[in-house]
Structure 1
Amino acid sequence: MTRIGTSDLDVLSLALGGNVFGWTADRDASFAVLDAFVDGGGDFVDTADSYSSWVPGNDGGESETIIGEWLASRKPSGVVVATKVSQHPQFRGLSGANVRKAAEASLRRLGADEIDLYYAHFDDDTVPLEETVAAFGQLVEDGLVRHVAVSNYSAERIREWIEIARRTGVAAPVAVQPHYNLVHRNEVEDTIIPVAEEFELGLVPYYALASGFLTGKYRSTDVAGQDSPRAQGAAKYATEAGLRVIDALEQIADAHGVSIAATSLAWLRAQPTVVAPIASARTVAQVPDLLAGARLELSTDEVGLLDRVSEWTPAGA
């Protein structure tokens, strides 16, 4: 088990991404994935109030609703649920009033009395940061949120948030959620990790498998012509340099008898301050590889090899 920053939340070192629930996984498939995840020892689920508002016919909040129905049906013990605010079509931005209303709506959908980990999803520079920090602090004070976190914030804004929280005596963030993986490293390692180390924040990286590229599924530079959303997301990585990363992952994966995906997640877990990479599964068959990635320990030499081969970032990544 791994502690999330300075919080009292101890979790297996993998967060199950809820972005596919209500999108590429319907209610029954989502229930099956959640069951398999918890049965395999998983206990950390990540979602957002906006998932999956981009799907025609959806309003936003579908993922939270599915998770809430699953929680009510299964009544699992010790499952930590993280959700986010700022992107729901009805609750955009981070004004104090909006944060409160959005949190209350998330609690209703989740069927919960308290949100374990509540993220500011994207920075909102139209609202004074003092107002947002105060709103999150009040949610903790009122018992609606256990711990505060930030997602997609710059290092400067994370530092500013923490300084405001400390000055005003409200709850400070315990976690940060950046875009971070073997083929998207530079900004996080140069700016976010140093701040996380300074303030003892736990990193919970999203896009841990680079839209599926780091599963090894896309082994050709021709994936750009494929129609699926994941293939399009993976296309920018499928260059000669990117495929060398896959080759190195495959070499290490074969030595351990695990998948490329599990090895990719294990590399992330080996990075400073990383608590639990986020990875999603549309089907039960995909869950074991994710759980294996939460338990695989790479040697120093294996981490070093992956560090060297991934010292590259594709244009626009």
Structure 2
Amino acid sequence: MPKVEFDKKNMFFRNLGNTGLRVPVFSYGGWLTVGSHDIKGNPVTELMRTAWECGINMFDNAEAYATGESETQMGNAIKELGWDRQDYIITTKIFFGTGHKETQNTRGLSRKHIIEGCKESLKRLQLDYVDVIFAHRPDVTTPLEETVRAFNYLIDNGLAFYWGTSEWTSSQIAQAIEIAKRLNMVGPCCEQPHYSMFHRERFESEYESLWRYENFGSTIWSPLDSGLLTGKYNHGIPHGSRYHTNPGMMSASVKALETPEGKAKIEKVKKLSVLAEELGGSMASLALAWTLKHKNVSTCILGATKPEQIKENVKALDLYPKLTPEVMHKIETILDNKPAPPPAYARLDDDGNLT
């Protein structure tokens, strides 16, 4: 197989928070895709090759995805594609374990599991190190200082270059940062949260202090809300969609569509779809481009199951420049869900009243 040199094409890059690591604004992730159902072997290679050809050189995974099979399949694809290790970025996450060994120490954020879990992930990925490793969830049963020291160990020993958090509260992240500073160790540099047009509260309100004072980075997941923001569910659940192929995990989401709130979301998607067409793009492109307008989105993780979906998703880069303040105002009017700023950022007006 001929080696394909990385070409960023129309992709643009941002620093991952306050680090020097430059990441593409779109990355490709293995959650609910790689290693699941029939997405193994050659289909994985083709998905990653397509992402690469579209300018994406960052790939996200986790020990828990497809009980470890996602890392294995992605590792096999990387080996087959023969890319230069300096040209791509691999991230993975530790916390849930793989589910194969249900013991007290095969999950969580103890020093034991962080180090052993990372080494097992590296075996599956067939790599010597990952670029970023995430604490997939907070672990309230382990002292936070132990967790900070363990991630610092991974970095000191060349098993990872950076570490981050995923779905932690802002106060937990702030504590980890302060502990690392006190110990003169490497603290977390980024968070991996859910962020989309319909999921804004935590990212735009709770994490505001992290963006403002720590220059924290982010690798956002489910920017299309598992396909809801593509418009595919405007008239029911289509065969082969994520809601259809993952009935257990997505059952709550499917039921939510039948509620008044769910129906209201569908109506908003229909209105946004009209706006997207006026701009010359798709609903998915509009939703993805919208996330990039927040300057603290370092990279937006795509979860496509077909190469064509990746090609379609990156067209959001063409729509991005068209999201002028006027267009963003139209979107905001349709969404009507902008979170209130956190109390700490309330300001006094000229009369001394809180605004």
TM-score, normalized by length of structure 1?
0.90
1:266 correspondence with 2:289: yes
Name the SS for the 1:2 alignment partner: strand
SS in 1 for 2:47: helix
Tell me, yes or no, if the aligned pair for 1:213 and 1:237 is still in contact at 8 Å: no
Question: 1:82 — aligned with what?
Answer: 91
Structure number with bigger Rg = 2
CA contact (8 A) 1:151 1:177 kept: yes
Corresponding position of 2:329? 304
Question: 1:70 aligned to 74, 77, 88, which one?
Answer: 77
**Corresponding position of 1:55:** none
Q: Distance in 2 between matches of 1:292 and 1:49?
A: 30
Q: Structure 1 residues 311, 257: closer, same or farther in 2, change over 3 A?
A: same
Partner Cα separation in structure 2 for residue 113 and residue 219 of structure 1: 45
C-alpha contact (below 8 Å) 1:43/1:80 kept by paired residues: yes
Query: 2:196–2:225: 8 Å Cα contact kept in structure 1?
Result: yes
**Residue 131 of structure 1 pairs with residue 153 of structure 2:** no
Where 2:92 maps in the other structure, the secondary structure is strand
Are the counterparts in 1 of residues 234 and 266 from structure 2 also a CA contact under 8 Å?
Answer: yes
Distance 1:175 1:295 in 2: 27
Does the CA-based 8 Å contact 1:193-1:272 persist in structure 2? Answer: no
Counterpart code for 1:197? R
Matched, 1:113 2:120: no
1:216 matched residue in structure 2: 231
Deviation of the 1:307 alpha carbon:
2.5
Q: Is the 8 A contact 1:211 1:233 kept in 2?
A: no
Unpaired runs of 5+ residues, structure 1, are 53-59
Pick the aligned partner of 1:171 from 180, 186, 210.
Answer: 186
Identity %: 27
Q: Is the 8 A contact 1:181 1:209 kept in 2?
A: yes
Q: Is the 8 A contact 1:48 1:83 kept in 2?
A: yes
1:128-167 correspondence runs (5 A)? 128-167=143-182
Deviation at 1:228, TM superposition (A): 3.5
DSSP 3-state at the match of 1:157: helix
* 2:275 is the counterpart of 1:252: yes
Question: Match for 1:215: what amino acid?
Answer: T
Residue 57 of structure 1: aligned partner: none
The answer on 1:12 being equivalent to 2:24 is yes
3-state SS of paired residue (2:78): helix
Q: Does 1:228 align with 2:245?
A: yes
Q: Cα gap change, 1:248/1:299 in structure 2, threshold over 3 Å: closer, same or farther?
A: farther
Instruction: Give the Cα–Cα distance (whole angstroms) in 2 for the partners of residues 162 and 3 of structure 1.
Output: 19
- TM normalised by structure 2 equals 0.81
Deviations 1:107-140 (A, max 9, x none): 1111111110100000000000000000001111
Q: Is the 8 A contact 1:270 1:303 kept in 2?
A: no
Does the 8 Å CA contact 2:45/2:81 hold for their aligned counterparts? no
Verify the 8 A CA contact 1:241 1:312 in the aligned structure 2.
Answer: no
Contact 1:210/1:234 (CA < 8 Å) preserved in 2?
no
* Alpha-carbon displacement from aligned partner over 1:140-181 (angstroms, at most 9, x marks no partner): 111111001100100110100100011111111111011111
Choose from 282, 288, 310 the match for 1:287.
310
Deviation for aligned residue 1:3? 1.2
Distance 1:51 1:9 in 2: 25
Q: 1:120 to 1:309 in 2, by over 3 A?
A: same
Which structure 2 segments of 5+ residues have no match?
A: 1-12, 339-355
Q: CA deviation at 1:211?
A: 1.1
Report the AA paired with residue 83 of structure 1.
Answer: T
Task: Confirm whether residue 34 of structure 1 aligns to residue 48 of structure 2.
Answer: yes
Give the CA RMSD over aligned residues.
2.1
Q: Is the 8 A contact 2:18 2:214 kept in 1?
A: no
- Measure the CA separation in 2 of the matches of 1:65 and 1:294: 30
